[in-house]
Structures are given as structure tokens and as C-alpha cells.
């Protein structure tokens, strides 16, 4: 039976606590044979090369967290890497004397780290939680067990980020609203931006030979990062993309007849730039007709779209599809 795998954050946590607790430091073999996450797979006198490589990666991760991991040579055996001792000097790792976190503040810090627990930020968030835990301050009871979830980055985000960092072409299939099948896109990524809670890719579309902005949630499957390099000219792509999106947002406004004191009223009045007109209807700005139609259809009879006609039609189509789907279910069950 193979040993149960220990999550990386637990292994790093155990490693940090062990190295903080020792003044003399521990050799690599002592660490691999005693620290949770290594010890169950350590073989005395056997091949531990995989574990040693894992330890090397963990050392880098710990240092990236700002934890002062030191190596100390054995005075009686200088130059022997196997005799090196590793330690984390507690005095250097402790918080400065003039900085203190209350239990509630620590709970909020841990809570913030846990919020970002999905998508491409999950590894960073787990490490952040581990570092907070090693500070030794317990969370305040009222917040224990409370972990809100924030939709952050879709699965397509990570490969797009990789392609952006490497300045290489990325290919993906993109499904536009109203189209039955996705189209293949080959683009040169220029910027990743978040606009009103949604991530978008600003890129040069090689097929259209023009700049385009893609809603990442409409990318089908995992984008394919190529080895085809390209050269970017300038660094203000993100700012320009945001300016264009903001201009679209300000240009598009819908008039909505919303039932007062409903969930729809509360949510829609909280949107940026929303105001009430002389007729008592809401004027709501938006950047994407399909996305707004999805939201409004979800409110059912609480919202009626007055204008523009294309939004009226989009919401009607969604409601008709919902009705048809439910009707089919009723028919199938008699």
C-alpha cells in the first residue's frame, strides 16, 4: 500500500515548524526521515533521489515566502553537502516587535487567503495560509468556518497567462453568443484584464489581423500554448483595453422596469452608474448584451426590459428556452 500523499501546504508547514524549532539545524537526511510529507516515503539506505528533489523545490518555495532558510556547514566536514544543516533562525522569522496582529485580524488575513482558493491562485493561497499558520496566532471564533468563495479566474486563465509571459501565440476555440459552434482563434496575447468582475483577454487576432478582446469564460476547453514567438510594441495594452471597455460600458444603457424591494432591485441599483429616471425605471449600464440578458432572465417577473430592443429579444429568448426545457420535462413525466 502506497503512503498517503500529504498536501504540499501541510508538508511546507511541517518543514517550517521543524526548522524553526531546531537551533543547531538538521541535515537533509534528518529532515527527510522525520518531517511529515517526507518521512513516510523515506528509505533508509535506499534511493531517495525523488525526495531530495522535492526538498530542493520546497526550499525554494519557503524562501519565496520570505522565510529566512539558512544552511550551516559542519565545521568538521566543510564542503560536504550531505553534512549541511538547515535551520530557520526564529529571531529573523518572527514579526518585528512593533507589529502585532489581534486574533480577529489574523482570522481576517487567513480568511482573505482562503477566498482565493480556486483556479490559478490556489497554490499561492495555500502557501499564504501556511505562512499565516506558522505565525502562531489563532483565529477568532466568530470567523472560524466562514469561507466565502469568489469567482476569480476561469480554467483558461493559466495557459493564457503563460502565453502572455512568454510572448507566444495561443490557440483556442471561442463560442460567441448566438452561435451554435465555437470558432478557432489564433491570437497574440497582449493583456489580461478584469472588468466588472470578469476576466478578459486583449489580443491581436491573427485570423482577423486586428485587435480583439475575448471574454475568457467563453473559451471552450484549455487554450493551447504554442512555441510561436511574437514581439509586443508598447506596454499600455491593459490600460487601452480598459479604456475601450469603459467606453462601451458608458455607451450602452438599458431601461428596466424593476419591481421595488425585490432582489433584482437591490442588486441592480448597486451596479456602477445605475440611476432612476423620471418614470421610476432603472437605467443600467452594461458592456455585453448576452451577459446582461443572462442576469436579467434569472430575475424572472421581477424585471421587464423596456429598452433597447435587442436586449428585450435576448431576454425573451432565454425565458422561452427555460419554459421549453421545463415543458419537455413535464411532458416526459406525464
Task: Spell out the residues 6+ positions from residue 96 whose beta carbon is closer than 8 angstroms to its own.
Answer: none
Answer whether residue 118 shows pLDDT above 50: no
Quick one: pLDDT at residue 172?
96
Q: What proportions of the chain, in percent to the nearest 5, are helix, strand and coil?
A: 45, 20, 35
Distance, C-alpha 41 to centroid of its chain: 32
The answer to whether the beta carbons of residues 124 and 132 sit under 8 Å apart is no
CA distance 72 to 112: 36
Helical H segments across the chain, by residue range:
8-21, 28-34, 49-64, 90-93, 103-115, 122-134, 157-166, 237-251, 263-269, 289-297, 309-332
**Residue 199 — pLDDT band, cuts 50, 70, 90?**
confident
What is the separation, in whole angstroms, between the first and last Cα of the chain?
52
Provide the percentage of residues in the chain whose pLDDT is more than 90. 27
pLDDT digits (tens, 9 = 90+) for 159-183: 898 898 889 999 999 998 878 889 9
Give the up-direction half-sphere exposure of residue 270: CA atoms within 13 A in the CB hemisphere: 8
Q: Order of strands across the sheet with 70-72?
A: 26-27, 85-87, 70-72
Tell me the C-alpha distance between 86 and 198, whole Å.
44
292 vs 115, which has greater pLDDT? 292
pLDDT at position 45 is: 81
What structural domains and CATH numbers belong to the chain? Answer: 8-93 (1.10.10), 103-143 (no CATH), 157-236 (2.30.30), 252-330 (no CATH)
pLDDT tens column, 213-234: 999 989 998 999 999 999 888 7
Residue 114: band (very low, low, confident or very high) from pLDDT cuts 50, 70, 90: low
Q: Tell me how crowded residue 264 is: count the other CB atoms within 10 A of its CB.
A: 21
Query: Whole-angstrom Cα distance, residue 230 to residue 216?
Result: 21
Query: Cβ-count burial of 37 within 10 angstroms (0-12 exposed, 13-18 middle, 19+ buried)?
Result: buried
Q: Write the Ramachandran bin of 196: left for phi over 0, alpha for psi from -120 to 50, otherwise beta.
A: left
Q: pTM of this prediction?
A: 0.53
DSSP state at residue 81: G
Yes or no: say if 32 and 51 are a contact pair by the CB < 8 Å rule: yes
pLDDT of 6? 66
Cis peptide bond upstream of 308, omega within 30: yes
C-alpha–C-alpha distance, residues 92 and 68, integer Å: 7
pLDDT band at 283 (very low <50, low <70, confident <90, very high): very high
Amino acid at each position: 500500500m502506497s503512503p498517503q500523499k500529504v498536501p504540499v501546504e501541510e508538508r511546507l508547514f511541517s518543514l517550517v515548524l521543524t526548522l524553526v524549532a531546531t537551533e543547531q539545524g538538521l541535515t537533509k537526511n534528518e529532515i527527510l526521515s522525520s518531517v511529515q510529507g517526507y518521512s513516510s516515503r523515506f528509505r533508509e539506505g535506499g534511493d531517495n533521489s525523488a525526495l531530495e528533489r522535492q526538498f530542493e523545490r520546497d526550499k525554494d518555495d519557503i524562501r519565496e515566502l520570505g522565510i529566512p532558510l539558512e544552511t550551516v556547514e559542519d565545521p568538521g566536514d566543510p564542503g560536504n553537502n550531505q553534512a549541511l544543516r538547515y535551520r530557520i533562525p526564529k529571531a529573523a522569522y518572527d514579526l518585528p516587535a512593533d507589529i502585532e496582529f489581534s486574533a480577529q485580524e489574523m482570522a481576517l488575513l487567513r480568511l482573505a487567503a482562503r477566498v482565493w482558493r480556486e483556479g490559478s491562485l490556489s497554490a499561492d493561497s495555500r502557501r499564504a495560509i501556511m505562512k499565516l499558520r506558522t505565525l502562531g496566532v489563532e483565529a477568532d471564533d466568530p470567523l472560524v468556518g466562514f469561507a466565502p468563495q469568489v469567482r476569480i479566474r476561469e480554467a483558461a486563465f493559466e495557459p493564457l497567462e503563460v502565453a502572455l509571459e512568454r510572448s507566444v501565440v495561443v490557440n483556442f476555440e471561442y463560442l460567441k453568443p448566438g452561435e451554435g459552434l465555437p470558432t478557432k482563434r489564433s491570437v497574440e496575447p497582449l493583456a489580461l484584464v478584469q472588468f466588472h468582475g470578469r476576466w478578459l483577454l486583449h489580443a491581436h487576432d491573427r485570423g482577423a489581423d486586428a485587435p480583439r478582446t475575448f471574454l475568457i469564460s467563453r473559451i471552450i476547453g484549455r487554450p493551447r500554448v504554442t512555441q510561436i514567438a511574437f514581439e509586443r510594441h508598447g506596454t499600455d495594452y491593459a490600460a487601452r483595453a480598459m479604456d475601450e471597455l469603459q467606453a462601451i460600458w458608458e455607451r450602452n444603457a438599458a431601461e428596466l422596469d424593476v419591481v421595488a424591494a425585490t432582489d433584482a432591485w437591490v442588486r441592480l441599483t448597486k451596479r456602477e452608474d445605475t440611476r432612476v429616471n423620471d418614470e421610476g425605471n432603472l437605467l443600467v449600464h452594461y458592456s455585453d448584451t448576452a451577459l446582461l440578458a443572462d442576469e436579467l432572465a434569472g430575475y424572472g417577473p421581477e424585471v421587464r426590459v423596456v429598452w433597447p430592443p435587442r436586449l428585450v429579444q435576448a431576454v425573451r429568448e432565454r425565458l422561452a428556452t427555460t419554459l421549453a426545457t421545463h415543458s419537455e420535462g413535464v411532458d416526459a413525466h406525464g
